[in-house]
Structure 1
Amino acid sequence: MKKSIILLTKSKKYRNYCIAGIDINNGEWVRIVSNDTNIHYAVKQEDIMYENNEEAEIFDIIAIECEKDRKSYYQSENYIFDNAYYWEKIGKATINDVLAIKPCENRNFIFYDTNKKVASDYLKTINSDDIYSLMLICPTNVEIIVKQWSHDEEKKITMNFEYNSNRYRYIPITDEIFNNQHRTKIDGNYSLHYNPILIMSLGEMYERDKCHYKLIASVLT
C-alpha cells in the first residue's frame, strides 16, 4: 500500500528518527516505522533519503510504499515502510496547506489527561478504536524552560503551555532543530512571543515507571 503524507515530524529516536505526518487525501495521521526491534522501530537516516540522495524534510509531500499497518495498544497510526522502495518527494506544502487538511485539534485533553505521562496499564483498558498517539495543537501562553539538571548531561529543553484551559508543564521536546536554537541560552524560563503549532506524540513505554510520556515531536511556525 502507498501512503502519501505531508511530513510533520522528524525527531530523534534512539539515534535514528521518528517520522510522522498527515495523509494528503484525508488528513489522517500516519506514523512511519521500521521492523527493526534493535532501534525500537525507528527509521534509519539512509531510509529517509530520496533516490537523488536528498534527505526528507519537514513539509515535504512524500509517497511511501508500506508493507502493512503496525498498530499497538498505545499507537494506532503506525505503518511499516517497505525498504525495497525509495521514498518519493512529490511536492512541498506550507503550514496553511497543512491546516487546510488538518485544522488544530480540539480535544478536552492531550492524550487522555493533563499529566505529562500515561500509565501503560491504563492505556490497555481503552477501546482500540479510541487509541490515538498524535495530535496537532495550537497552544497559548507558551513558555520554554532551559535547564541543565546535572553537570554530566546537556541542557534539557521543555515547554509549558495552555491547551483548552489546562496547563501542561515540562513537556519534553524531541525537535532537535528547535532544541538547538535554545541550548545556547542560560538556564531560565523564556516566554515565546508567538504561539507555535505543536505536533504532540505519545512515546513508547519507559521501563522505569511503565508509563508513556507525552512529547513535543515538532514545533512549527
Structure 2
Amino acid sequence: MPSVTRLICLANSWKHSDRCIAGITTIKGQWIRVVSDLPDGRITKEMRQIGGTEPALLDILAIPLAKTGPDYGFESENLSVLPGKWERVGQVTPAYLLKHCSKEEYILHNDLRHVEVPYLQSLPVPQRRTLELIKAVKVSVRPLGTKYEGSQKWEGTIVTESGKKLTTTITDPVFVRKLDLGYRPKNPCLVTVSLSMPWRPDDWRGEGDPCWKLIAGVVELPEEHQQNIESKNDLDDLPF
C-alpha cells in the first residue's frame, strides 16, 4: 500500500492545461509540490480531483506520495505522486497558517520578478526554495486584457509587512474567477508564491534561464482576524 502524506493545500494553480498542486505537511509545515511523471510534473484532472471536485486552498489532503521526486535540476520540494485515491480529510483556518508565513528578507531569494536557475543550483539543496507563503498586507490587481483557460488574465501586486513588493501573473484559477466576477480583496491576504519552470523570453538578456515568480494561491484573511492578529499567541490545533 502506498505511503499517504497529509498536506495542507496552498496552491492548485494553472500549469499549462493542467494544475500544480502544492502545500505544507500537517506535521512539520514542510513544503511539498506534488509532481507526476509528465515532462513538467503537472497534475491532471484524473489524478487530483476528489469526487469530481478540485482540491481547494486550506483543504487537508491525504495523497499517496513517494519519498522522492524529480527536482528538474533546481527544485527542492518535489515528491512523486503514486497511484491511489486522494482524500479530503479536513480543513484549516487562514489564521492557522500565519505561523507558516515566510520570515525571509526577500520574496523567493531576491527583489526581482524571476530567479535564474544557476543561482538556485549554487545553493545547498534545502535552500533551493521555489515555494513560499507570504503575508501580504496589501494586494492589488489589474486585468491584462488577454484570455487564459476561458478567463481574463490578471496581474497582481503584493506588499509585505516589511515593504517588499512583487508584481506578477496570477495563476490561482479560483481567485481569477472571483476577480472576473468583480471581487477585490480588502483585507491582508496569505499568498503562495511559486517559481515557474524555466522560460526564456525572446528578449531575455540574462546569463541563466529564468524561473518566474507566480501568485499561485490567494486566501484573504477574514476581517475578524485583523483585529486580533497581533495579540493572539496560540492558534488552534489542526482540526482532525
TM-score (norm 2): 0.78
- CA positional deviation for 1:191: 7.7
CA distance in 2, matches of 1:54, 1:146: 27
Q: Which string of whole-angstrom CA distances, capped at 9 and with x for unpartnered residues, describes residues 53-110 of structure 1?
A: 4443222211111123223443211100102x111222222223333xx432111001
Asked if residue 112 in structure 1 is aligned to residue 114 in structure 2, the reply is no
Retained in 1: the 8 A contact 2:57–2:219?
A: no
Verify the 8 A CA contact 2:151 2:177 in the aligned structure 1.
no
Q: Which residue of the partner structure matches residue 30 of structure 1?
A: 32
Alignment of 1:92-103 (within 5 A): 92-99=91-98, 102-103=99-100
Per the alignment, residue 45 of structure 1 pairs with 45
Do residues 200 (structure 1) and 193 (structure 2) align? Answer: yes
5+ residue gaps, structure 1, are none
Equivalents in 2 of 1:147, 1:54: separation in Å? 28
Per the TM alignment, residue 143 of structure 1 is displaced from its structure 2 partner at its CA by 1.6
Cα drift, residue 192 of structure 1: 4.5
Partner residue in 1 for 2:78: 78
Distance across 1 between alignment mates of 2:197 and 2:125: 17
Distance 1:67 1:192, change over 3 A: closer
Return the letter of the residue paired with 1:81: V
Q: Which residue of 2 aligns with 1:168?
A: 166
Please give the per-residue CA displacement for 1:177-198, whole angstroms capped at 9, x wherever unaligned.
111222366xxxx984321110
Please list the CA deviations of residues 103-150 of structure 1 after superposition, one character each: whole Å capped at 9, or x if unmatched. Answer: 321110011111101122222222223111111111123221223269
Output the TM-score relative to the length of structure 1. 0.84
Aligned pair count reads 208
Identity of aligned residues (%): 25
Higher share of residues assigned strand: 1
RMSD: 2.4
Cα–Cα, structure 1 residues 55 and 173, in superposed 2: closer, same or farther, change >3 Å? closer
2:211 & 2:184 partners in 1: Cα distance?
27
Given that residues 151 and 176 in structure 2 are in contact (C-alpha distance below 8 angstroms), is that contact kept between their aligned partners in structure 1? no
Moved over 3 A (4+): 52-55
- Select between 59-68 and 22-31 the one with higher mean Cα deviation: 59-68
